[in-house]
Amino acid sequence: MHVIVLNGGSSSGKSSLARALQELLPEPWLHLGTDTLVAALPSRLLTGGDGIGGVTDGDGTVEVGPVFARLDAAWSVGVAAMARAGARVLVDEVFLGGAASQQRWRSALEGLDVLWVGVRCAPEVAAAREAARGDRVAGMAAAQASAVHEGVAYDLVVDTSQASPGDCAESVLARMANCG
């Protein structure tokens, strides 16, 4: 396995699952994703328009502009290049475009051994996590809880509102073992 893609809404538990996987997997895996990309952006691209809007304020919906879309596409190709160069990568993603987002990643990751994991979380649980964190826009978790999974195909789905990050990581490891 070269890449594990974890797709879920904001505050769904993707990062906690990725950290649990990093502890359990025998080889080192890099944890990269949406938060990494957003943190690398200049602040002017965090206020909508050409960049990405709704990340720092708003009603929980995220709007993607053309410059962000171009950088996001380059990001996925760059992450794939790291995997092709020998890094094992845990991709922590929010498929804002649902099936279209997955297709973009599928194209970037073509030829690599990929495990697609849906990280589901009950909207009310994700919203409570969002509120407790204090660093997220209110409403983002509930708005994304189901929308990011629409039309997306997975090898495995875990529910972090029903299981701990460690238990979900064990499910991922078991699925990896069954992949060969």
Residues tagged active-site? 35
Residue type, 150: E
Work out the burial of residue 73: count CB atoms within 10 Å of its CB; fewer than 13 is exposed, 13-18 middle, 19 or more buried: middle
Q: What SS3 state is found at 1?
A: coil
Query: 16-51 burial, b for 16+ CB within 10 Å, e for fewer?
Result: bbbbbbeeebeeebbbbbbbebbeeeeeebbbbeeb
Tell me how many degrees the CA angle 52-156-34 measures, rounded to the nearest 5. 20
Cα–Cα distance, 51 to 41 (Å, whole number): 9
